[in-house]
Amino acid sequence: MSLDGLTSGEAARARPNVVPRRSSRSLGAIVRANVLTLFNLVIGVLWALILIFGEWQDGAFGLIMVANVLIGVIQELRAKRALDRLAVVGESPVTVRRDGAERRLPPHQVVLGDLVVLGPGDALPVDGEVVAADGLEVDESLLTGESDPVRKEPGDPVLSGSFAVAGTGLFRATAVGVDAYAARLAEEASRFHLARSELRDGVARFIRYITWLVIPIGALLTYSQLNNSADFATAITGAVAGIVTMIPEGLVLTTSIAFAVGVVRLARHRCLVQELPAVEGLARVDVLCLDKTGTLTAGGMTVDRVLPLREGRPVGDALASLTAADSHPNATARAIADRFPAPGWRPLATVPFSSERKWSGADFGPHGVWLLGAPDVLLDPSAPECAQAAELSATGARVLALCRTDRLPDPGAPVNARADRLPDADLPADARTDRLQDAVLPADARTGARAGSPGLVGDVEPVALVTLDQRVRPDARETLAYFARQGVALKIISGDDPRSVSAIAAGLGVPGADRAVDARTLPEDEKALGLALDAATVFGRVSPRQKRLFVTALRGRGHTVAMTGDGVNDVLALKEADLGIAMGAGSPATKAVAQVVLLDNRFAALPHVVNEGRRVLANIERVAGLFLTKTFYAIVLSLTTGVAGMMFPFTPRHSTLVNAVTIGLPALFLALAPTLERARPGFVPRVLRLAVPAGVISACAVLLAFVAADGGTLEESRTAAVLALFLTTWWVLVLVARPLNRWRVTLVAAMAGLFALALATPYVRRLFELTLGDPRDGLIAIGIALVASAVISAVVKVAGTLRA
């Protein structure tokens, strides 16, 4: 089979890899989702009834419905444009071979029959069949759940959704677009939606309950209004007022707007949010797992020193040849190649580097078999060279051992079979196996800790130690300090030597960095591992499999875990975490599974990510209290007037006025306001502890004011009821807006001013059918509202819903 790939003409005629973009939905879908809702149907029918039987002023709530739809569509289109632009920037190009030359193309330009080039970290964009392989190992865990890489040979099938972890290869695309395996599996999940979450579940639960209540209560209210009034139009108007007020139509809209605005705001910081519900997940994070390389340190590094351990060995030729034998070198190999650029040996066989093995090697025939990797994996733990490497690692440098051996090891064989356990000399005092169980693990978890890592079979001769400088990101210290202030626990994990990780973390001021733990000493039992993870901060020699176990164990302890990473060895943990955050310069595999991608690789963008999530969640909880207070007072009023057979105490136009100044307008400001409040579980109970008593007490105040003004006309009695309703719900707004800083005081004062202006302006009074009768009725309504507000304050304070 030719390895030149397709010709340009063949590629132009072939089927392209077109897959619906995961980040957004079409304009038609956005419009349908915002227009064709149950609430819009109910409100539309009620609006039509008012327009037929009532006066147009009472149909103002219909205009609010139209405005809500327009706002929802516009905000989501803004988010769609932001997501689509960033998604294009964040797409990882694919290397294909056409006309005998390699080309870098966006994934959608790969076509059926293309010859795709694979290297470590490359995600497979389409299905195919391997046509050439050199130590190619593919991780199919995202498809099969099995974490062990699968070695691929020519003729073996490969599936989209997997990724290369070691070696190189070529495969022919046999299925593209929606026919590819991963696309078929993800068809349902790829549709634009807000995934399951406490916030969305809580809102959906409210909506479901209210929908069932509206039907019987609305029927009862309509019957009572018809029986109580000879005027059919007045009866319909009163019934519509009660039913419309029960519907929290703005709650769903405000939630969607808050999510969409969150996405747009993060886009300004070059953060690609690939799934909108990730915005909520940001707020709940209380543990952040940081991969050191590429996150705390910049991607590049330089060779600092080469320390020969044996005289007369060709160290430079061996290093140059080893790095040249890797067709897809990582950052370490590139740094060594920059220092030793002239390879002279031809490899007969190679074993590519992998994060699991932590070494690479090649057989150079007459020049011998050479290995390059972690000293504590390649060297005898009792050898003086291993102790020397440990001292170098303690300075924060990355240390590699160059070794010569008699045969190339099997890449699938276990490593370090000579060592039964890591000796005390090979670990810092606080991380030794025997002391780890005493100092880090509680008594009930001091069992099952594994001894150290196994090593290579055969005689290995240490030839040289290579140290590399790692550049710490300039924004790392400030960002870590931010998370410490916010109460987010940090777990710094790395495949490097614990001493090196400890030195870098200590230099950044991470608490507990001097007590780094070698992950090979940790227990595999999830409960014991979770206890150990809670007790320490810095971990070295963590395998890719362990990274996922770390996330699982922390989640098992009740934590909400975010994981950052950039390498292929981080993919499993990113997928397992509550929130996966990938660096834009990371491997395509990490960006494919992460919910958030930091396109500019700025670690300092993470505080913006967390702040945005907290803002959305805390503010939606605030406005939910406002909307559901309205729902509960409407339910109580509808039931009371329906059972008692009395007129409803206000009309739709009254409800429109009060809701606009106590809920609608302030909710938009509160939902988008900055806040640093920590997210807490129990969203539904907290909202109900405010909304139920506030709604019931407000309804009682309205009924008392309405009955007390019974001596006047129906319009005068309703005006007194509206005054009592405004004052009590305005006080609920004050409570919800706490803590009252300058702009929030301005907001609630402005809403009171708008209502006062409506009462003082003759035209507005006539428009909203407000009739000022006996002044005593107004004073009684004010007195009732003041008492009701005091009772609401006392009740919600006891319930613990006031924010300090």
Peptide bond just before 154 cis, omega within 30 deg = no
CA dist 235 and 227 (Å) reads 8
CA dist 609 and 147 (Å) reads 29
Considering the candidates 122, 139, 291, 363, report the single residue annotated as catalytic: 291
Q: Which residues of 468-484 are buried (b: 16+ CB within 10 A; e: fewer)?
A: bbbeebeebeebbeebe
How many CB atoms neighbour CB 790 within 10 A? 12
Query: What's 650's DSSP letter?
Result: S
CA dist 328 and 253 (Å) reads 49
Taking CA atoms, 793 is separated from 618, 662, 732, 736, in Å, by 20, 17, 8, 11
Per the annotation, the verdict on 406 as an active-site residue is: no
Q: Which residues of 508-517 are buried (b: 16+ CB within 10 A; e: fewer)?
A: bebebbebbb
CA dist 746 and 619 (Å) reads 18
- Which residue spans within 39-197 are E strands per DSSP? 94-98, 101-105, 115-118, 127-139, 150-151, 157-158, 163-175
Cβ proximity of 694 and 630 under 8 Å: no
Tokens of 733: 């707004």
Query: What's 397's DSSP letter?
Result: -
Tokens of 335: 């740094």
Identify residue 406 by its one-letter amino acid code.
D
Nearest residue to 329 via CA among 370, 296, 309, 301: 301
Nearest residue to 95 via CA among 124, 130, 129: 124
How many CB atoms neighbour CB 228 within 10 A? 17
- Classify strands 561-565 and 517-518 as parallel, antiparallel or unpaired: unpaired
Q: Which residue has the tokens 């800083």?
A: 741
Nearest residue to 622 via CA among 735, 515, 507: 735
CA dist 58 and 656 (Å) reads 8
Burial bucket for residue 626 (CB in 10 Å: 0-12, 13-18, 19+):
buried
Give DSSP secondary structure letters for 722-741: HHHHHHHHHHHHHHHH-S--
Q: What are the residues whose beta carbons fall under 8 Å from the beta carbon of 522, sequence distance 6 or more?
A: 436, 449, 450, 529, 532, 539, 546
List, by residue number, the catalytic residues. Answer: 291
